[in-house]
């Protein structure tokens, strides 16, 4: 299946992407891909370093006649988001990604594709392996754990790199040149509660929310996509008052940086209210599906009878947590007043787990303004603390402030216009990029971000556009030729 990927142009990039996608590389489980990259660099006879946190740095001298050019850091992250559809049988720990071509797109069979940021990694590998591409001295920086904490970028020491320009290949629109990004912070609410034995007069139901698109919790947060955790909470909210609904467990969402696509709840209701329960939840489901008919046409809400759960939540805790989840902010909190159409601050209620006396709610709050980031984080903290949860802030990372006077920006903007007969979209983004973190230890490094068209990142709908990768590769080669002198 992946053999057809290897025939795509540019073959140098797609072959390296296929090689990379054969290696399992979940965030915080990068041992195999680190070894893969280390062997790649050493087999080329290039200076290869694995730093103390696991970042891989491969250094390649300038080609003849390019020795006086500024050394360029080409940077991408090794890890990928592991997400699959519930009905897809796949083991990310042992299997390589199964890819196929559909029209102008490369996709994966029921899983994330890994184009984010695998195509960036593959592009750098192709440059490192080449024997006929003109380029200045290159320091290839392959960071780890970008998707779940950016600990690789945070752990990179300030004396490892000497380059004056950094090309981050982690943008997902091929007409965009990125000059800034949002920072982020993980907000986690936890609580222990007492379970009660389910009364004999209750019966069990499983409620499932599925069919949502999901996607990138930064780049797509403004698109009005459904959040499975918020939809599930809406279904459960008034259940006790109406038909004695008691929650046994909830399992919704997954990674913080992915908009949750699915949620499942096991509940018990008074048997006497079964018909009323089914009628009311059907009506509410239709209302919700009508609201989302444009953005989420495949939304499905299923209610099926199941074995009555043996244990249920304490009622007071149930009422408190459902109210907190209703009140907890999700989506776009504030748009930028300075950059048109840029989301400044947002939150994603990414994960809700309630089971066996444990509540865990995981959010990712993003903002390009540090004070606004903390304002929203504290809003969430207050919301969950009011219902007895303990709230922890972790994994905070800074944004990347735009530099519109950047020398490499001027080179790339002119080159893009000359090549495409239109101006590029120079913009900051609401995703988290490593540039802001790297800039703390390398404050004088001139940084830019760009990449090919990738849609649906962080979801099983992730896909990469073949023609765009060709355009991107040509752009990369021309940029390397036009790097200014020291």
Q: Tell me which of 30, 79, 262, 434 is the catalytic residue.
A: 79
Neighbours of 7 (CB within 10 A): 10
C-beta separation of 367 from 399 below 8 A: yes
Instruction: Give start-end residues of each CATH 3.30.70.360 domain in the chain.
Output: 185-397
pTM beyond 0.75, yes or no: yes
Task: Output the CA torsion 24→29→32→33 (10° steps).
Answer: 70
Residue 79: active-site member: yes
Residue 47: active-site member: no
Burial class of 375 by CB neighbour count within 10 A (0 to 12, 13 to 18, 19+): middle
Domain 185-397 classification at class level: alpha beta
> Residue 197: CB partners within 8 Å, gap ≥ 6?
310, 311
Among residues 106, 110, 100, 123, the alpha carbon closest in space to that of 2 is found at: 100
C-beta separation of 111 from 118 below 8 A: no
pLDDT, tens digit only, all 486 positions of the chain? 578 999 999 999 999 999 999 999 999 999 999 999 999 999 999 999 999 999 999 999 999 999 999 999 999 999 999 989 888 999 999 999 999 999 999 999 999 999 999 999 999 999 999 999 999 999 999 999 999 889 999 999 999 999 999 999 999 999 999 999 999 999 999 999 999 999 999 999 999 999 999 999 999 999 999 999 999 999 999 999 899 999 999 999 998 999 999 999 999 999 999 999 999 999 999 999 999 999 999 999 999 999 999 999 999 999 999 999 999 999 999 999 888 889 999 999 999 999 999 999 999 999 999 999 999 999 999 999 999 999 999 989 888 988 889 999 999 999 999 999 999 999 888 988 899 999 989 999 999 999 999 999 988 999 999 999 999 999 999 999 999 998
Among residues 126, 88, 103, 115, the alpha carbon closest in space to that of 25 is found at: 115
> Residue 408: CB partners within 8 Å, gap ≥ 6?
165, 167, 446, 447, 448, 483, 484
Distance CA(44)–CA(37), nearest Å, equals 11
For the chain, give percent helix, strand, coil, nearest 5: 30, 30, 40
For residue 22, what are its two tokens? 């054969």
Is the preceding omega at residue 10 within 30 degrees of 0, hence cis? yes
pLDDT for the residue numbered 337: 87
Distance CA(210)–CA(260), nearest Å, equals 9
Three-class SS of 346-381: EEEEEEEEEECCEEEEEEEEEECCHHHHHHHHHHHH
pLDDT for the residue numbered 486: 84
C-alpha dihedral sign at 148, 86, 259, 79: positive
Distance CA(95)–CA(111), nearest Å, equals 11
Task: Output the CA torsion 166→172→174→176 (10° steps).
Answer: -70
In this structure, the strands spanning 358-367 and 183-192 are antiparallel
Distance CA(322)–CA(325), nearest Å, equals 5
- Chain centroid to CA 4: 27
Q: Tell me which of 30, 116, 139, 146 is the catalytic residue.
A: 146
pLDDT for the residue numbered 1: 56
Instruction: Give start-end residues of each CATH 3.40.630.10 domain in the chain.
Output: 5-181+399-481
- Residue 396 Cα distances to 15, 151, 158, 370, angstroms: 36, 10, 19, 10
- Listing DSSP states for 138-188 in one string gives EEEEEES-TTTT-HHHHH--TTS---SEEEE---S-TTEEEEEB-EEEEEE
- Residue 201 Cα distances to 198, 249, 270, 271, angstroms: 8, 19, 6, 6
Distance CA(339)–CA(400), nearest Å, equals 14
Is the CATH code 3.90.1300.10 the one for domain 5-181+399-481? Answer: no
C-alpha dihedral sign at 157, 163, 164, 169: negative
Distance CA(248)–CA(314), nearest Å, equals 10
For residue 227, what are its two tokens? 């959040």
Distance CA(427)–CA(443), nearest Å, equals 20
3-state class (DSSP) for residue 29 = coil
Q: At what angle do helices 407-420 and 466-481 cross, to 10 degrees?
A: 130
In this structure, the strands spanning 72-77 and 165-168 are parallel
């Amino acid at each position: 299946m992946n053999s057809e990927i290897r025939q795509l142009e540019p073959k140098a990039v797609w072959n390296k992407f296929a090689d990379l996608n054969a290696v399992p590389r979940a965030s915080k489980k990068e041992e195999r891909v680190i070894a893969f990259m280390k062997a790649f660099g050493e087999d080329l006879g290039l200076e290869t370093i694995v730093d103390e946190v696991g970042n891989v740095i491969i250094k390649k001298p300038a080609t003849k006649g390019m020795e006086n050019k500024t050394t360029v850091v080409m940077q991408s992250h090794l890890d990928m988001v592991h997400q699959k559809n519930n009905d897809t049988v796949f083991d990310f720990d042992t299997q390589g990604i199964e890819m196929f071509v559909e029209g102008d797109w490369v996709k994966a069979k029921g899983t994330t594709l890994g184009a984010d940021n695998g195509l960036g990694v593959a592009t750098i590998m192709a440059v490192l392996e080449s024997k006929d591409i003109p380029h200045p001295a290159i320091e290839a920086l392959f960071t780890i754990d970008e998707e779940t904490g950016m600990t690789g970028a945070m752990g990179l020491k300030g004396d490892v790199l000497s380059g004056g320009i950094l090309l981050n290949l982690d943008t997902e629109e091929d007409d965009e040149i990125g000059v800034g990004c949002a920072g982020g912070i993980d907000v986690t609410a936890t609580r222990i509660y007492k379970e009660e034995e389910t009364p004999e007069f209750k019966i069990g139901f499983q409620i499932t929310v599925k069919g949502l698109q999901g996607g990138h919790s930064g780049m797509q947060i403004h698109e009005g996509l459904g959040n499975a955790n918020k939809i599930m909470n809406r279904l459960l909210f008034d259940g006790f008052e109406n038909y004695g609904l008691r929650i046994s467990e909830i399992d919704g969402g997954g990674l913080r940086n992915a908009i949750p696509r699915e949620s499942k709840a096991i509940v018990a209701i008074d048997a006497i209210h079964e018909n009323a329960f089914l009628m009311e939840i059907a009506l509410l489901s239709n209302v919700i599906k009508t609201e989302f008919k444009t953005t989420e046409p495949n939304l499905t809400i299923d209610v099926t009878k199941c074995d009555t759960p043996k244990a249920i939540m304490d009622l007071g805790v149930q009422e408190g947590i459902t109210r907190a989840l209703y009140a907890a902010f999700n989506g776009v909190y504030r748009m930028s007043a300075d950059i048109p159409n840029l989301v400044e601050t947002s939150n994603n209620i990414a994960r809700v787990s309630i089971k066996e006396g444990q509540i865990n709610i995981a959010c990712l709050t993003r903002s390009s303004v540090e004070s606004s980031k903390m304002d929203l984080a504290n809003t969430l903290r207050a919301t969950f603390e009011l219902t007895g949860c303990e709230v922890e802030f972790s994994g905070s990372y800074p944004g990347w402030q735009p530099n519109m006077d950047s020398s490499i920006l001027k080179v790339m903007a002119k080159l893009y216009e000359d090549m495409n007969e239109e101006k590029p979209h120079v913009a900051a983004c609401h995703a988290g990029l490593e540039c802001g973190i790297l800039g703390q230890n390398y404050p004088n490094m001139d940084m830019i971000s760009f990449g090919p068209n990738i849609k649906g990142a962080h979801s099983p709908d992730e896909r990469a556009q073949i023609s765009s990768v060709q355009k991107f590769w040509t752009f990369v080669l021309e940029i390397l030729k036009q790097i200014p002198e020291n």
